[in-house]
Structure 1
Amino acid sequence: MSTDQLVPKDWAGKLSRLSISTRSKLRGQHKGSHRSARFGASLDFSDFREYAPGDDVRQIDWNVYARTDKYFIKRFLDEQEMRVHVLLDSTKSMGDPLKWTFAKQLAVSLGILVLQRDDRLSFSVVTTEKKPPFRRKGATYRKAFTQTVSELKEPTMIQSFVENAPIFLPKDSTVLFVISDCLESLESWERLLQKLPKFAGDIRILQIVTSDELAPSYTGDVQLEDVETSHQLNVSMSSRVLETYEQERKLHQRGLELLSSKFGVKMVQVNAEDGISHVLFHQLLRANWVQ
């Protein structure tokens, strides 16, 4: 898929109004567009503080001294970079064309938000091959990142996403985005969520669903196949079957939400059919994931 097919040509321009929002402590000493909670020596003035022994005398404001006959020093905001990692699920359940295209659009959009703010982006796909992550900083790499995601092959992995995810994660992220359909068992998700806090201070899961997953439209006698195990099941669709499915789906969803809350992980469910603009400019804004 070409980059023009994945996202519109003017997509980066539209995203320029947004940035990743986080309260997590920023890491690293490299300059970025985000301000940390501590004070340093950038050019952005914060306030005054009365001089104390040991302070740098070069920071004394002599104009204030002339007015008050007291020594005050200037405090400046320290700028640090945000380090964001985007982790993409590529198991076969993500292989629905609509779902997979949408997942890549999400990954590209988040990457652009990071790179255009001069922050550091890393990106990895959980596959059977352990490849080095994409790691870049700065707006000049937006096109290269978009191309990288555009060229991803259709998902074919049949191994567990949640069991393999940790080996694809760096340990120096400010924010971690996990893009997945979250269809694996609650027990396996609990094991992963327990581990994620050591990789980032701010963890966010984007759960991708489709309308057919939320409300199946099948009728009559159908043969269902698990795309990851190839297990086949003959089912006669009825209101009772659909009700049972809906109960199980809601039970799984509620379990995911409870686990996320338990481990301090943020989670937003997004429907691939709503489109990338709706998700970025409405859902993620309301969730305060972007600003």
Structure 2
Amino acid sequence: MNIKNTILPPEWSSKIRRYCLQSHSKIRGQYKGSHRSQRFGSSLEFSDFREYHSGDDVRQIDWNVYARTEKYYIKRFLDEQEMRVHILLDTTKSMSQEVKWMVAKQLTVALGAMVLNQDDHLSFSFVSEKNVPPFRRKGASFQKAFEQIVAQLEEPTIAGDFTDHAMKVIPKDLTVLIIISDGLEPIEKWRTFLKQTPKVAGDIRFLQIQTTQEIAPAYTGDVELLDMETKESLNVSMSQTVFNSYQQLRERHQSQLIALCQQYGISFLPVNTNDGIQHILFQQLLKVHWIG
């Protein structure tokens, strides 16, 4: 495969196959998969016994139990259903920093591969100025195709707010919704968007991608700052007062974003690109039990 169509090192494939997405949400898929549903069905995995009632399938009667108790009991089996997972990637201009964009795409590919490898249903979308149909596939055979699609995404150039258009590209009736964004848009915009997400998924996760420069800028002296969204420039003397003011605003925004996620039952995980994709994927996501 052309190197331009790859995001993760080839040797990672076997490592990623050891993990799968974890979810305690109700499995919503209608097709057979590899995850236990909260209802009983016809799989081969035994659950428990219950007393026989008129209308039950007599083939499920356990005659060994009858021989011991002289009562009729039937076996119950776990129904296995697929998960329906959607990954929503922020492609607005604030995501266009090279390291941030690469880490965001790497996480998208890795999480998507885990879903496909478990024979679950994966869909993927992003906000675009064009009418781009979402990726929708099931099964490990589509892993390479998915990686190519993500690898070929151009550097983010979308103007405006991600939150204004995100709901339009999210399918309904999901098990898990994963939002990958830097979370830099105004809190009221996030409030409007996030309060709608529980309608489409039982398990919602917000993976916030941050850079060290965003968390603790290392600028000194007189600098010209450029707004990634509007391209407007601002001349600033980076004094301690300016730095403290920035930190207060950033921390306030972050605490409000966390509070919003808590309010709407959304799992929130901020990650720093400086930690590297391997640490984020195989340590931080494992620690919060997003994967296992």
Aligned-residue sequence identity (percent) comes to: 57
Deviation (angstroms), 1:231: 1.6
Equivalent position of 1:131 in the other structure: 132
Q: How far apart are the structure 2 equivalents of 1:80 and 1:197?
A: 21
* Deviation per residue, 1:23-45 (Å, 9 max, x gap): 11111221111001111111111
Equivalent position of 2:10 in the other structure: 9
| 1:3-152 equivalent positions in 2, closer than 5 A | 3-4=5-6, 6-152=7-153
* Deviation per residue, 1:204-243 (Å, 9 max, x gap): 0000000111111111111111111112111011111111
Q: How far apart are the structure 2 equivalents of 1:201 and 1:22?
A: 9
Q: Which amino acid aligns with 1:269?
A: P
Q: How far apart are the structure 1 equivalents of 2:4 and 2:40?
A: 44
Secondary structure of 1:103 counterpart:
helix
Q: How far apart are the structure 1 equivalents of 2:138 and 2:4?
A: 23
Q: Which amino acid aligns with 1:73?
A: I
Unaligned runs of 5+ residues in structure 2 are none
Q: How far apart are the structure 1 equivalents of 2:156 and 2:283?
A: 28
Q: How far apart are the structure 2 equivalents of 1:259 and 1:29?
A: 31
| 1:253-264 equivalent positions in 2, closer than 5 A | 253-264=254-265
What is the aligned-residue RMSD (CA, Å)? 1.0
Q: Which runs of 4+ in 1 moved over 4 A?
A: none
Q: How many residues align?
A: 290
Q: Which amino acid aligns with 1:114?
A: V
Whether the 8 Å contact between 1:104 and 1:150 is mirrored in structure 2 is yes
Q: How far apart are the structure 2 equivalents of 1:62 and 1:3?
A: 58
Equivalent position of 2:202 in the other structure: 201
* Segment of structure 1 superposing worse, 122-131 or 256-265: 122-131
* Deviation per residue, 1:115-166 (Å, 9 max, x gap): 0000000001112222110000001111110111011000000121001100
Unaligned runs of 5+ residues in structure 1 are none
TM-score (norm 2): 0.97
* Deviation per residue, 1:87-141 (Å, 9 max, x gap): 0000010000000000000100110010000000000111222211000000111
Equivalent position of 1:176 in the other structure: 177
Equivalent position of 1:217 in the other structure: 218
Q: How far apart are the structure 1 equivalents of 2:266 and 2:131?
A: 26
Deviation (angstroms), 1:48: 1.3
Deviation (angstroms), 1:67: 2.5
Whether the 8 Å contact between 1:33 and 1:118 is mirrored in structure 2 is yes
Secondary structure of 1:2 counterpart:
helix
* Segment of structure 1 superposing worse, 60-69 or 113-122: 60-69
Q: How far apart are the structure 2 equivalents of 1:172 and 1:10?
A: 34
Secondary structure of 1:191 counterpart:
helix
Q: How far apart are the structure 1 equivalents of 2:233 and 2:276?
A: 31
Deviation (angstroms), 1:12: 2.1
Secondary structure of 2:196 counterpart:
helix
Whether the 8 Å contact between 1:130 and 1:168 is mirrored in structure 2 is no
Q: How far apart are the structure 2 equivalents of 1:2 and 1:125?
A: 20
Q: How far apart are the structure 2 equivalents of 1:114 and 1:189?
A: 26
* Deviation per residue, 1:219-270 (Å, 9 max, x gap): 1111111111112111011111111111111000000001111111111001
Q: Which amino acid aligns with 1:230?
A: K
TM-score (norm 1): 0.97
Equivalent position of 1:283 in the other structure: 284
